[in-house]
Structure 1
Amino acid sequence: MNAATAFDPWGGHELPANDNRPQTRGKPIMIGLTGLRNVGKSTVARLLKDEFGFTPVHAFASGKEATRAYFIAIGFDADEAWEMVYGELKDVPCDRLPGGVAPRYFLEKFGHFMGHTLGVDWTLGMEVGIVRRRSPRAPIVVESLVYEAPWFKAQGGTVWRLERPGHNGPAGVESDAVQAGIAADATIAAVGVEALKINVRRAAQQMIGGE
């Protein structure tokens, strides 16, 4: 018998499903993370995936893949395009892009178009739908809520705001300004990664009824 599989939005591969997945009687648990850039949203999403069996979802996952394909189409090689979308080149100014902007500029503009102009049905709604078709009862963690927060809460999702005291995030990031107005159900603050993990474990255990 083949092992159950779950989608990994970071690698785009089928992976063995996590057997630690919490069992829920009502609607499946959905946690959405919001907060400034570089406060630990990816770290928290990975922890919930690895330790509690959540399926991670990113509202712009398919948009990122479309952006990677676009960068390849305009002349970057596959490795460069990957780094521009997912890696170390994302925030590096590039003289091959108009105005010498960093790739994040395009990602932000394209993300705004998909999330604001097209709407949530084309972003988070689509990504959640992919998971639900594969595993209807899977608990979900959304790595970064921005324009999708009202829809997410209407679906029964819980919003966690992550904060790192003293951290202001990169300047001029439009999505940071949008997320600041999101009404969170809980705030998790921590100065360092280990403290963040401890606080997240505690909050997750309380939510799923763990020990």
Structure 2
Amino acid sequence: MTIHLHRGDLPAGLDFGRAVAVDTETLGLSLVRDQLCLVQLSAGDGDAHLVQLDRTSYDCPNLKALLADTGVEKILHFARFDLAMIEKYLGVTMSPVFCTKIASKLTRTYTDRHGLKDVAREIAGIELSKQQQSSDWGAAELTEAQQQYAAADVLYLHQIRDGLAAMLEREGRSGLARACFDFLPWRARLDLQGWGETDIFAHT
């Protein structure tokens, strides 16, 4: 595994292929209060690229171009949050997407454990550490432990996607999953506009 830390933006000319794994780190989990600090990416080749953002400007044209490219599938776990953060701070709507958490919930109906750690263990045979999940991602210098944690969240998403896609196909739920993935940008916008905790489809 090689971790590449970039400050401000991705270098020009990087090619992530037809699908890129994406994750974000923020100052917290509030879309109103907490800023986007880091975007992690991987082509599924064992390398991770971490973009430590300039939170005074979010001027990162190469990163934005990649995330906005409709010819590149973005693979995320709990994409709803990441899509909202990226739309709010980078002004980019990511599409198409594959959310491994939604895919897990549509296929792994024999369990209620759909966190990345649990899905990675079953689908990819990988043990992920979540020790650095609650750390200061706004720090000027990221520790080696933070970088290792951030990288691990994207390094195995291609493998997890492939495993879950096979399960979706087996259960005849691929079309249902795709419809859910396509709705995610709108779900993110509902969150950003204040309907995060409201089930607008409910009768009451």
TM-score by length of 2: 0.31
Higher helix proportion: 1
Higher relative contact order (CA 8 A, sep 6+): 1
TM-score by length of 1: 0.31
